[in-house]
């Protein structure tokens, strides 16, 4: 017999709420049908966003929500998703199934979702196939309070006041689906793109660089050496799933007790990954670490790594660190 003792009177500190952050990507039915049904849908909705999904997400108190991806972020062009919906450009989602999307869920709809959920928006910009100007103008469109081409366009599209935007990712998984880049190349691109992610007025953006895949410590070392002082956060990509990622990820809905133990074992590996990636940044100028994390929890039938419920089998972890400037 095994006994477990839980010392409820011993505390190690306060858990950062952002560990329980979430991630909405254009994958399967997460966005279209899952979150967005449109204002004319027979499904009860608030300005096109499903009421039942809103209620479920409010219940779990999502602190921060990342969008539009994921791999989708590096093929998403934000200007196609603003303005009158009937005139928006359709696109092929080449990462996830080759489906054609109508871009009815764009910047205004995502920011509305965050306002309804009372959570922080986390935008991930397009480095893989986008331009510096495109990223710069997106930030201007969302956050500039004054007279400018992008601010004026936002107002024409129905939003007078700028939004508050705290988190901005400069690319995603750029070692893989975000461009198959070498760390040296991404470091140079990060330095360039982040320059134009401006702070307008009192809106201060927490810039997040695309971090390594699992235990690629060389990626972290190269990136921190060449661009560490220009970032506020660094993402670490790792999935904990009950099986081999490519050969068999396990079901998101039907799982045995043993799969829970596999998942917990893999989740425990996060501590080692964080510690070793942290050591890879030693000596980088101006850096101090915190244990705060923003973590994207997700499940799905298609990938065992996609959305909200019924249980969090897979975790995609974005480890944040603070920078002393």
pLDDT digits 0-9 by tens, 302-320? 232 322 222 222 233 333 3
Q: Look at residue 325 and tell me if it is in a domain.
A: no
Distance (Å, rounded) from C-alpha 143 to C-alpha 254?
Answer: 43
Which residues of the chain are modeled with pLDDT < 50? Answer: 285-325
**For residue 320, what pLDDT is reported?**
34
Report pLDDT for 120: 97
CATH code for the domain of 267? 3.20.20.80
Cα dihedral 216, 221, 227, 231 sign: positive
Give pTM, 2 decimals.
Answer: 0.86
Classify residue 8: in a domain, yes or no. no
Write the pLDDT tens digit of every residue in 51-74. Answer: 999 999 999 999 999 999 999 999
Whether 128 maps to a domain, the answer reads: yes
**Nearest Cα to 25, choosing from 73, 68, 62, 57?**
68
Task: Please give the pLDDT value at position 8.
Answer: 86
Q: Which domain, by its residues, includes 65?
A: 20-319
What tokens does 314 get? 């897979």
pLDDT, one tens digit per residue, over 5-38 is: 988 888 888 888 998 899 999 999 999 999 999 9
Instruction: Kindly state whether residue 38 falls inside one of the protein's structural domains.
Output: yes
Indicate the number of domains in the chain.
1
What gap in Å lies between CA 255 and CA 168, rounded to an integer?
A: 35
pLDDT score of 154? 98
In a domain, 274, yes or no: yes
Q: Per the domain annotation, does 212 fall within a domain? A: yes
Q: What integer pLDDT is reported at residue 312 of this predicted model?
A: 24
In-domain check, residue 41:
yes
Secondary structure class of 59 (helix, strand, coil): helix
- Does residue 12 form part of some domain? no
Residue 76's pLDDT is 98
**pLDDT for res 260:** 87
């Amino acid at each position: 017999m095994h006994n477990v003792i839980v010392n409820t009177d011993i505390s190690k500190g306060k858990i950062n709420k952002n560990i329980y952050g979430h991630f909405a990507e254009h994958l399967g039915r997460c966005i279209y049908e899952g979150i967005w049904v449109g204002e004319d849908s027979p499904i009860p909705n608030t300005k096109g966003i499903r009421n039942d999904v809103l209620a479920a997400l409010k219940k779990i108190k999502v602190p921060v929500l990342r969008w539009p991806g994921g791999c989708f972020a590096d093929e998403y062009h934000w200007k196609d998703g603003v303005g009158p919906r009937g005139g928006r450009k359709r696109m092929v989602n080449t990462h996830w199934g080759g489906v054609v999307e109508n871009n009815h869920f764009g910047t205004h709809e995502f920011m509305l979702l965050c306002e309804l959920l009372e959570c922080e928006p986390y935008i991930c910009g397009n480095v893989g196939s986008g331009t510096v100007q495109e990223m710069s103008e997106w930030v201007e469109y969302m956050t500039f309070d004054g007279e400018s081409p992008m601010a004026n366009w936002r107002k024409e599209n129905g939003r007078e006041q700028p939004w508050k935007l705290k988190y901005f990712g400069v690319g995603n998984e750029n070692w893989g689906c975000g461009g198959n880049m070498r760390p040296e190349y991404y470091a140079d691109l990060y330095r360039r793109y982040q320059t134009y992610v401006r702070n307008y007025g009192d809106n201060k953006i927490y810039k997040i660089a695309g971090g390594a895949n699992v235990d690629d410590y060389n990626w972290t070392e190269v990136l921190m050496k060449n661009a560490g002082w220009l970032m506020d956060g660094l993402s670490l990509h790792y999935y904990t799933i009950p099986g081999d990622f490519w050969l068999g990820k396990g079901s998101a809905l039907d799982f045995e007790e043993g799969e829970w133990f596999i998942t917990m074992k893999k989740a425990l590996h996060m501590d080692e990954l964080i510690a070793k990636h942290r050591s890879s940044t030693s000596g980088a100028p101006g850096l101090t670490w915190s244990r705060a994390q923003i973590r994207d929890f997700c499940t799905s039938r298609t990938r065992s790594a996609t959305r909200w419920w019924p249980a969090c089998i897979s975790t995609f972890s974005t480890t944040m660190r603070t920078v002393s400037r």
